[in-house]
Structure 1
Amino acid sequence: MPAEPRLVHIVDEVPELDGSPEHLTMVLVLDGFLDAGNAAARAARHLVDLEEDGLLGPPAVPSSSRVVATFDVDQFHDYRARRPAISFVRDHYASYDAPRLVVRLLRDSGGTPYLLLQGPEPDNRWEAFARAVREVVERFGVTRVVSMGSVPMAVPHTRPVALTHHANDPELLLGATSPWRGELRVPSSAQALLEVRLGEWGHPAQGFVAHIPHYLAQLDYPRASAALLEQVELAGRLTLDLSVLHAEAEQREEEITAYLADNAEVDDVVQALERQYDAFERAEESGGNLLAPDEPLPTGEEIGQQFEQFLAGLEEPDDPGPDVAGPDTTGRD
């Protein structure tokens, strides 16, 4: 039987990690499923931008952003299901956006190194992918894997961003209270399976899933990106500059507020969600449901129709706007 092809290629020498740091975090973001509002993808891009813009670490410390492990994406990606973009320039094809699944070496504001595993979620061979990630974890001595994700929920944008905490070791939760009761059967993901397998192999892994207002699920929602990275800071013992994300979040909130002021019907939808949210908060200690019994939840179609103009109005002519042609931000099979 032919040997299984090597699924991950790891750099032999990484001087920045010599001496096995006491704590080495690997942040995990897989695009395509758990990313309503592009929250996790935007958070990951922010981490890379900080490094490439030279905003991290003392001036005397050179940028350490580089790829230290590369996964064989051809083994995991279904090109017909998620076709990469390619440019057609007058009479020829150019600028093929090849999917990449890589591990980058980054540093936080204090110069502490950490890793970022980012790329499209594997469409197949999840178990093989998990084993390949294990190679990376054990090769570099990763002490904790921290994942980010986001899902559309019946929550208003006028309330704090809610987060679901999860981990393969209860001690990693640090007393965080789950909003869920009992067992939920939900569609799995490579990211979720990886957390399970890492736990079986004795490697700590935890994550955070932001709850995105479902009427904004197709729009970049930087407020949630900042909320996710605030949790990554705590879990990974990192210090990150989130000022750019906070500024983007303020601008987005102003745009939403201005739109609601001119659209009473949409504002009514948001107010109904506010009442549902507040009712849940009051009933949470007694095990109440997320939905208030006297507040019917608008359907996704109804909310989509109400916000169709809103989404179109936020796109500037010279701005590509939200990545609506990219990975599905609301989840897919």
Structure 2
Amino acid sequence: MSDPTDLYRLDGDLPELTDPVLIYHFEGFVDAGATGRLALGHLLAELEHRVIATFDVDRLLDYRSRRPVMTFDTDRWTDYETPELAVYLTRDVTGTPFLIMSGPEPDREWELVTEAVGMLVTRLGVRTLVTVHGIPMGVPHTRPLGLTSHASRPELVNGQNSPFGKVRVPGSLAGLIELRLGAKGHDALGYAIHVPHYLAQAEYPQAAVTALEAITRGTGLVFPTEALRDAAEKTTAEIEEQIAASDELAGAIHGLEQQYDAFQSGATRESLLAEDTPMPTGEELAAQFEAFLAERDDHDG
């Protein structure tokens, strides 16, 4: 039997904490709009933090399926971007300590990783685990972003209605952690942010803002979001510029608005997940937006 403690290394003595929240996200699973990556990346960029534990990625990752980036300069290798899966200690704007776990989703030993996370959660006295990511939905960016809450106990989702029934989907380590640790009595919850399907492949900062707002409501933690909101406003302005230049895009967005408003008013119960809609597909809309965003990035240099 493998020992879960072999999977991680503590960076110094563990801090003395009182019921901290652990926010986690792994890159590699569905994350429309880069919601989880942007949200946690923003927190690590804005808040002072230190590493308190690192996982053995050499053991957990399949490098040939997700090759790390190396830099070649003229006639030699000069850099290697070492993948890192780590737990960080930081504080919100009120001074409340909390934990962040982020990095690539392990390719193997999920059950053992989950046990290792459970051991860290117990040792650190974590009261709640929270995960966020984005999912593509047939919704327009001109309406407030929705979300689907899920948790280890029904009381944690505050009675919010879900657009989903019982479905079978490809698994994720984030989901397994919620399932396994929830069964052991830990409070675990997550927020799947509804990202417009035509923006799923692009970075959509507004989805990250929505994710952090949801975490604040669920945990009481308060985050600095000004820079992220500025980025969201800039992105929205660029999207509107693209729509104004295309009658086809404008018509497609208008169709999504009508469908969304009818759903919200109860005039129709057609799922926002429905694919049979008389408008360009998410892939077609995304291709047009991606071409625009690529042109913008080239212009920005």
- TM-based fold match above 0.5: yes
**Cα distance in 1 between the residues matched to 2:199 and 2:155:** 33
1:38 to 28, 34, 37: 34
**Counterpart of 1:6 in structure 2: which amino acid?**
D
Could you say if the C-alpha distance between residues 152 and 258 of structure 1 is closer, same or farther in structure 2, counting changes exceeding 3 Å? Answer: same
Alignment partner, residue 237 of structure 1: 220
Secondary structure of the equivalent of 1:100? coil
Percent identical among aligned pairs is 43
Checking the alignment, whether the CA contact within 8 Å between 1:283 and 1:289 is kept in structure 2 is no
Deviations, residues 263-300 of structure 1 (Å, cap 9, x unaligned):
1111112112112212221228x854326899525324
- State the AA in 2 paired with 1:33: F
Match of 2:53 in 1: 69
TM-score, with normalisation over the residues of structure 2? 0.93
Q: Give the structure-1-normalised TM-score.
A: 0.84
CA distance in 2, matches of 1:5, 1:205: 22
Query: How far is the alpha carbon of 1:134 from its aligned partner?
Result: 0.6
Distance change (3 Å), C-alpha of 1:178 and 1:128: same
Give, in whole Å, the separation in 2 of the partners of 1:136 and 1:38.
Answer: 27
**Superposition map of 1:1-333 within 5 A:** 6-14=6-14, 17-18=15-16, 20-21=17-18, 23-52=19-48, 65-180=49-164, 182-283=165-266, 287-290=269-272, 295-319=277-301
Q: Determine which structure has the larger helix proportion and give its number.
A: 2
Q: Structure 2: how far apart are the matches of 1:13 and 1:30?
A: 25
Instruction: Spell out, residue by residue over 1:49-86, the C-alpha distance to the aligned partner (whole angstroms, 9 max, x if none).
Output: 1114xxxxxxxxxxxx1101111112211101110101
CA contact (8 A) 1:275 1:292 kept: no
Does the CA contact (< 8 Å) of 2:5 and 2:116 recur in 1?
no
Distance 2:110 2:130 in 1: 18
Question: Aligned partners of 1:193, 1:303: CA distance in 2, in Å?
Answer: 33
Q: Residues of 1 paired with 2:106 and 2:280: CA distance? A: 33
> 1:12, CA displacement in angstroms?
4.8
Counterpart contact for 1:222–1:248, Cα < 8 Å: yes
Structure 2: runs of 5 or more not aligned? none
State the number of aligned residues: 301
State the distance in 1 between where 2:275 and 2:28 align.
33
Contact 1:280/1:292 (CA < 8 Å) preserved in 2? no
**Misfit runs of 4+, over 3 Å:** 1-5, 291-295, 316-319
